[in-house]
Amino acid sequence: MSEEEKSPDGWKDWEAGKGKNFSGCIDCSGRGKCRTCEGTGKVVGDVCTTCKGSGKCRKCGGTGKAKKENKSSSQTVVVQSSGDDNSQAPPKAGGPKGPGWFSRKKRDIQDGYNEDKNNAKKERIQTDQNVSRFMGQILILITLIVHVVDGLVFQFSIQPGIMATRITMYLILMVLAHYTLKHTFAQSAKEFMPWAIISIIVVPLFSALLRLVGVPDAIITQISAVIVGIPVWLFYFMYVKGLNYKYEGKSLVGWFLFWLTPVGLARIWFFILVISALILAFNSLAISAENLPGAENSGYDVIGGAQVLVDKINEAGKTFIANIQNIGTGVNGSINKLYNDTLGQYYTGQVEQNKEVTGVFITEFESKDTLYENQQINLYGLISARSFVDEIKLAVTCKAQNTKNSTDIILGTTDPTEVTVYQQDQQGVICTFENGLPTGDYKINLTADFNFETWAYATYTFMDRDFVNSIRQGGENVNDKFDIDQKTRTIYTNGPVMLGLNENLLMPISLTTDITEINKVPVGMTLDNKQASSTTKGTINAVDTFQLRIPKLFYLDKCTKTYSPPQTDANSPDYDVYTFANINPSLSQSYMSVSCNLGISPNDAAQLLGLKGGKAVVSIIGTAKYNYELSKQITIKVNKDPTTV
Amino acid sequence: MKRTIFFTTAILLIFLTGCGQSSPTPINVYTGTEGLTINFLENNPPKETYEDSELVVMAEVWNKGAHDLNGSEDNYAVVNLNFDTLYFTGQNPQLYPLFAPSQTQKLTLQGKSQSWPTGEKNYMQMANLKVNKITGTREMPTTTVEASVCYPYETILSQSICMDGDIYNLETTPVCRNKGAYTFSGQGAPIAITKLEVDMIPAGLAQGQTTSLGEETSSMKLKPSFKITFTNVGKGVVFTSNEYLLTQELCSISNRLYEKDNINTLKIKVYLGNDELTCMTNSEVKLYSNEGSIRCEVPQGKVYQINRNYESLLTIQADYYYRTSTSKTVQINRVY
């Protein structure tokens, strides 16, 4: 049968005299293929509902031949024609119409109508596909922008103020994703929708969850970066059929242009991020953090990084299990902690950029000889320090731990046992195991306990409330007019811990001088351990002093920790020192915060502002003095003495 | 010979005309968009200094506008220095009254004039600051020193406008025509009158008058109305004064000394010829996004009877206080 004979347009063919011999299935034009999916069995990645996935014409079962069916079925009319059947011949002009001619004519018109209807449906499906694809592309593009903003602007920060912004941003993205996936043509995308929605909002909250299980901030930031950069839902969404597309042309220019489309860009993005994440994940764990006590520039150490990663996961798992075990108190504390992480009471800052690296470091620790069992072992360490604390006293110890038997610990002796370093100094230390060690592999830890202090400085700019309101009501920007930073900024000194103050309060901070009102400004401080490097670990053994220094015109109120009566600062007589009590003795797996109201009476506010021409710049200072344990670990191999049999 | 005489005469003429006394071209001082400016002198304060040392803060205060601050009554500028007391301490309050609030340092500066076309400039040693020893273990903190100047000022515009009663354009050779709107850039002050819209509103015809030739003429009654737009073209803040406050008090910007409605507000006076116009509301202009307008009309019951068009002088005067500032970041280095 020729193609012409297979033409679905039976009426036209008839009129042209071509359809008289057409005996195929009109529904599929004699091809035997489902007309909706063109024989593929799928429509936009889903099963074709017309042929139920078979790809065959549902009327002729894929044979392409006509079969007699109930004439009342408007969709399945089959035309059997033969040349000598007068009753089926077209009427002669002006002549009498043959028997059944009108019913055939009616059927044929109905066929033409159904054909048009199917074509319209097909076009509508195609349009839906195009719209879905377009919406999907737009969502991918918006998502990429959101992730770039999150990374570059917010740096995946878990600071409470920024967290709120990040959550808002992802909520908007969530709504967009919901809308897009809901209206997409692909059924599979619809089914995936709840997971996509959940995973989007989990992204910014994930950092808080990690903190819950005790993962250090720096690790959280890195993991957040990976999760945000390579979200599984976006990856899935990109490959939902009908929403993605491939370049199938042969033009080189077209191929290049494809990579500039959202899907192309997204794929490049994934490629770069996967590679970067892998490098970062290992390297950042391995490489020493700059300006950290105990840090050293050890370069790339992938194995070390992997080891630390395993350790961290192990520790995090233990902490998480411990929390579950202490379900009575632990969960309650964890919920509070999560609440604090998410909504506030975690204050941060930026570390001061120094001319030279500042802190206490174990810069070297190594064995210079081949080691044999039961022979004296000497390991050489070098401790260096640069700080602005007058003197730092270090108690130095060392120990060996068998790698196969962790309970097998042997203490070594150090020379000297106590080291005092001044502002910029370095001191050599020898760790000795006089009787040597049995054959085997050992982890040797050189540990230094020392006193240290970290200071944080936040600058607040105050202005009269009514004055500020009047300026704003006049449609002007106060910050521009008075050259004021948008937000408070905290700088803390280099050291093993982070001491944060209010980092993101909007400025200027308004004060009222109306004596019927009161002034309360939030102020808070957080002490948290920093990330250690792969071979150097640090913990805060004990916090000795936790203080806030504020100008005398101000006072503290309603603090979350008790404090002793304020005393005048000996070095800055204009400042009062508030020393907090009930401070955590150790911060091995946690952080410590205090939140207060910073008060100033309306009279004092009037004095403060009046003296300074309506704008007062004031520094708030936080101080933490603590004992820190810095430990550097190396692995040695003790060989069998070759002289013994 | 003739050529020699010609050149000699020409040279003599050149010399002789050169000896004539030419009158200096008057300059218009009511131009520009600045009033007082304040800037630190270079290295005073320096970009970097050391703890436990001293530094001198010097500023150049320059009246680049057209209004004189002559010290009479309350007509002077107040200079203020703002710094974080954690890092600096003001020295010698006797010498530098900025640190003694009870004393007032009155700064007077002449504005631009024919005899002083650039305006008066003053180099003042604002303070001698002691750099405090760095509190804590910070290595090199940075902090900002800000100098501000707050002063009463005045914007004046005199503009010839046409009293145009010929609303049907009947006069063939009128003296002038109402232009409708004028735009300006600045009048030698940080607040500029940027637009003037003139409406000659007819208020009926006056009774006919008989000329010497026995012809009867009619004249138009007019009620001129003016919409004046003011713009803050400087970088500072504008506010108006309470009658009972001194400049020193007002410039302290404390709630108890000013009323919030005074911020971004100007007080104006408008004269048409010798007649003071009435401006809505209370002759105060409120600026929003640095711009504000006011409509002024002749007082109730007053009309101008115009036989023939003529030019009259419209004088607009705005009074206000203005505050502008400059700042510099200083890094303090630790002495090891």
If you measure CA to CA, which chain B residue comes closest to A466? B260
If you measure CA to CA, which chain A residue comes closest to B289? A475
Q: Confidence band (pLDDT; 50, 70, 90) for A158?
A: low
Q: What is the pLDDT of residues A323-378, one digit of tens each?
A: 444 444 444 444 444 444 443 478 888 888 887 777 888 888 888 778 888 888 99
Nearest residue to B270 via CA among B185, B179, B157: B157
User: Per DSSP, which regions of chain B are E strands?
Assistant: 36-40, 48-50, 54-63, 78-82, 88-90, 121-131, 142-163, 181-183, 191-210, 216-232, 237-239, 265-272, 275-276, 278-279, 284-286, 291-297, 304-306, 310-333
Q: Does B130 touch chain A (CB under 8 A)?
A: no
Residues 88..117 of B with a Cβ closer than 8 Å to A: which?
101
Which of A240-244, A291-295, A630-634 tops mean pLDDT? A630-634
Give the total number of structural domains in chain A: 4
Measured between alpha carbons, how far is A574 from A580 in angstroms, rounded to an integer?
20
The more confident residue out of A68 and A77 is A68
Measured between alpha carbons, how far is A89 from A103 in angstroms, rounded to an integer?
13
Task: Specify whether A366 is located in the same domain as A488.
Answer: no
pLDDT higher than 80, residue A624: yes
pLDDT for res B92: 58
Residues 478..507 of A with a Cβ closer than 8 Å to B: which?
481-483, 491, 493
Flag the least confident range among A315-329, A344-358, A579-593. A315-329
Nearest CB to B137: which of A453, A466, A512?
Answer: A453
pTM for the whole structure? 0.63
**Pure H helices in chain B:** 2-18, 247-250
Task: Specify whether A414 is located in the same domain as A563.
Answer: no
Measured between alpha carbons, how far is A161 from A157 in angstroms, rounded to an integer?
9
pLDDT for res B231: 95
Task: Specify whether A255 is located in the same domain as A217.
Answer: yes
Q: What is the pLDDT of residues A371-402, one digit of tens each?
A: 888 888 999 999 888 888 778 888 999 999 88
A88 domain residue, yes or no: yes
Task: Specify whether A202 is located in the same domain as A235.
Answer: yes
A464 touches A513 (CB < 8 A): yes
Task: Specify whether A86 is located in the same domain as A178.
Answer: no
Task: Specify whether A466 is located in the same domain as A592.
Answer: yes
Nearest residue to A496 via CA among A459, A524, A533: A533
Optimal mutation site among A457, A548, A620, interface B, most CBs of chain B within 10 A: A457
A301 domain residue, yes or no: no
Nearest CB to A352: which of B135, B139, B150?
Answer: B139
Domain containing A414 equals 359-444+632-639
Q: Does B139 touch chain A (CB under 8 A)?
A: yes
pLDDT higher than 90, residue A621: yes
Q: Under an 8 A CB cutoff, do B140 and A493 touch?
A: no
Q: What is the pLDDT of residues A232-273, one digit of tens each?
A: 556 655 665 555 566 677 778 888 877 777 667 766 766 666
Measured between alpha carbons, how far is A582 from A177 in angstroms, rounded to an integer?
47
Mean of pLDDT values over A608-637: 85
Measured between alpha carbons, how far is B307 from B286 in angstroms, rounded to an integer?
37
In the numeric block, the tokens 């957080």 are attached to A526
- Measured CA to CA in angstroms, residue A345 lies from A58, A453, A543 at distances of 66, 21, 19
pLDDT higher than 70, residue A308: no
Task: Specify whether A279 is located in the same domain as A391.
Answer: no
Nearest residue to B48 via CA among B135, B138, B143: B143
Measured between alpha carbons, how far is A424 from B43 in angstroms, rounded to an integer?
31
| Domain spans, chain B | 36-153+323-333, 155-322
> What is the DSSP annotation of A554-613?
-EEES-SS-BPPPEE-SS-TTEEEEEB-S--S--SS-EEEEEEEEEE-HHHHHHHHHHTT
Integer-rounded Cα radius of gyration of chain B: 28
pLDDT along chain B (336 residues), means of 10: 66 57 75 93 92 90 92 84 87 52 66 91 86 90 91 94 84 86 93 94 74 66 93 91 73 63 89 91 88 92 85 94 93 88
pLDDT for res A91: 45
Residues of A279-303 as b/e, b for ≥16 C-beta within 10 angstroms?
ebbbbbbbbbbebbbbbbeeeebee
The more confident residue out of B14 and A558 is A558
Flag the least confident range among A166-170, A323-327, A389-393, A631-635. A323-327
A645 domain residue, yes or no: no
Measured between alpha carbons, how far is A56 from A54 in angstroms, rounded to an integer?
5
Flag the least confident range among A135-144, A459-468, A492-501, B39-48. A135-144
Task: Specify whether A515 is located in the same domain as A607.
Answer: yes
Measured between alpha carbons, how far is A111 from A107 in angstroms, rounded to an integer?
6
Measured between alpha carbons, how far is B152 from A370 in angstroms, rounded to an integer?
85
A589 touches A434 (CB < 8 A): no
Integer-rounded Cα radius of gyration of chain A: 38
Judged by DSSP in three states, A131 sits in: helix
Q: Under an 8 A CB cutoff, do A352 and B138 touch?
A: yes
Residue B180 Cα, gap to closest chain A Cα (Å): 29
Percentage of chain A beyond pLDDT 90 is 12
pLDDT higher than 60, residue A562: yes
CATH classification code of B36-153+323-333: 2.60.40.10
pLDDT higher than 80, residue A133: no
Judged by DSSP in three states, A385 sits in: strand
- Measured CA to CA in angstroms, residue B205 lies from A50, B210, B222, B300, B301 at distances of 88, 15, 9, 18, 15
Task: Specify whether A492 is located in the same domain as A462.
Answer: yes
Q: What is the pLDDT of residues A196-236, one digit of tens each?
A: 666 666 666 666 666 556 666 666 666 666 666 656 556 65
Task: Specify whether A157 is located in the same domain as A59.
Answer: no
Beta bridge partners, A57, equal: none
Q: What is the pLDDT of residues A27-55, one digit of tens each?
A: 777 777 887 777 777 776 667 777 777 78
Q: What are the tokens at A521?
A: 């400004």
Q: What is the CATH number of the domain that holds A411?
A: 2.60.40.10
Task: Specify whether A480 is located in the same domain as A497.
Answer: yes
In the numeric block, the tokens 């042969």 are attached to A250
pLDDT for res A84: 39
pLDDT for res A229: 60
Residue A418 Cα, gap to closest chain B Cα (Å): 23
pLDDT for res A295: 34
Q: What is the pLDDT of residues A49-72, one digit of tens each?
A: 777 777 888 777 777 776 554 443
Nearest residue to B187 via CA among B39, B322, B64, B287: B64
If you measure CA to CA, which chain A residue comes closest to B137? A388
Judged by DSSP in three states, A154 sits in: coil
For chain A, give the mean pLDDT: 72
pLDDT for res A259: 78
DSSP 8-state assignment for residue B97: G
pLDDT for res A5: 39
Task: Specify whether A436 is located in the same domain as A458.
Answer: no
Q: Does A465 touch chain B (CB under 8 A)?
A: yes
Residues 145..204 of B with a Cβ closer than 8 Å to A: which?
146, 148, 150
Q: Confidence band (pLDDT; 50, 70, 90) for A561?
A: confident
